[in-house]
Amino acid sequence: MSEQLSRREFLASAAVGVAAARARDIPFPMRPPQPLPPSRWAAKPVAVSSANGLRAVQKAFDMLLQGADTLDAVIEGVKIQELDPNDDSVGYGGLPNADGVVQLDASCMHGPSKRAGAVGALEGIKTPSEVAKLVLKYTNHIFLVGEGAKRFALQYGFKEEDLLTPHAREVWLHWRANLNPTDDYLDVPETQDMSVRPTGTINCDAVTPQGDISSVTTTSGLAFKIPGRVGDSPIIGAGQYTDNDVGAAGSTGRGESNIKVCGAFLTVEFMRRSMKPTDACLETLKRVVQLTEPRLLGPDGKPKFSLNFYAVNKRGEFGAASLYPGSYAAHDGKEAKLRDTAYLYERPAASR
């Protein structure tokens, strides 16, 4: 890829027929959209996301080409998923904890201002990514949790709502019924069982034509988690990380395994040492495997969980890797589409 890419090359291929973004269309903007540099661009603009983020990368990329701020672009992108009741891994409609309560986690970093914000175990607010952005923008702190995070959001005009959709409630009730054959909840017959996707999250990272970078990760966390459990998503350096001089990275999958290696930070550090985004993601996954306790490894030594990393660098190069074959979403200037991740192992761990 050439170091410098012409603006015309992108304008020709990208869907930019949309009206220019206006500051008032973006809640709590980091800055109003600004005209793009007139001639040569410092970076190839790009938006990368987990596989559930096709709409997110399209939205973020459109905003980048309208001159929006990099963090505003990724937050508006992931909000589509947070507000979608059919995505049971994020925001509204997310699967609840063991008590049937939806507790949401999110974090973000804004490269140009070197700021970070996060919320953990947030209840009743559909868009935790936006609340994390408010922590980043308006406070001297980085991480608010639980009741305090909710009160903070309400002060900025967010509405408290019941986040448990009928679908998510049903899935939770089935889980509880089948948890233990000797408890007081009667097991639900196999035929009525529902397939549960136990994990899910959205991470989105973007680079503007000026080479400014941001990242955000938002999730309802592991389904049926112990109430109060906070995963990797809201942890700066684990769920996502941005260094505006280098790049950004983020993660989805088993959060506990990511936290121990500070995976997003580590991936950015690998890129700092000149690794390409995909190689950096793979290297981080190798570290995860090294630090995995035996109970989480199959007899063949492979992890019995899934974990994915996504990364972009300062030039707009991007990539993703997972333990097992998977996919991720990216808008590279031509189109938003799903691509295959690089991976460590061909097949999932054998069961004992």
CA-CA distance, 63 to 87, in Å (whole number)?
23
Residue with tokens 């459990």: 229
Closer residue to ligand ASP (CB): 244 or 308: 308
CA-CA distance, 277 to 269, in Å (whole number)?
11
Size of the site for ligand ASP (CB under 6 A): 13
Q: Is residue 201 annotated as part of the catalytic site, yes or no?
A: yes
Selected catalytic residue, list 127, 199, 201, 242: 201
Q: How far is the CB of 94 from ligand ASP (least distance, A)?
A: 10
Closer residue to ligand ASP (CB): 107 or 233: 233
Closer residue to ligand ASP (CB): 209 or 326: 326
Query: Exposure string (b/e) for 236-263, b if CB count within 10 Å is 16 or more?
Result: bbbbbbbbbebbbbbbbbbbebbbebbb
Q: How far is the CB of 265 from ligand ASP (least distance, A)?
A: 15
Name residues contacting ligand ASP, limited to 215-254 (CB under 6 A): 219, 221-222, 231-233, 252-254
Q: Is 292 in the site for ligand ASP (CB under 6 A)?
A: no
Closer residue to ligand ASP (CB): 255 or 303: 255
Q: How far is the CB of 104 from ligand ASP (least distance, A)?
A: 10
Asked whether the beta carbons of 107 and 120 are under 8 A apart, the reply is no
Q: In what order do the strands lie in the sheet with 104-110?
A: 143-145, 115-122, 104-110, 213-219, 202-207, 46-50, 327-331, 336-340
Closer residue to ligand ASP (CB): 112 or 231: 231
Amino acid at 303: P
* Residues paired with residue 236 on neighbouring β-strands, in sequence order: 240
Q: How far is the CB of 308 from ligand ASP (least distance, A)?
A: 8
Name residues contacting ligand ASP, limited to 195-214 (CB under 6 A): 199-201
- The 10 Å Cβ neighbour count of residue 133 is 28
Asked whether the beta carbons of 285 and 261 are under 8 A apart, the reply is no
Q: Which of 255, 263, 319, 326 binds ligand ASP (CB under 6 A)?
A: 255
Q: How far is the CB of 199 from ligand ASP (least distance, A)?
A: 3
User: Which residues in this chain contact ligand ASP in the complex, by CB under 6 A?
Assistant: 199-201, 219, 221-222, 231-233, 252-255
Q: Please identify every residue annotated as catalytic.
A: 201
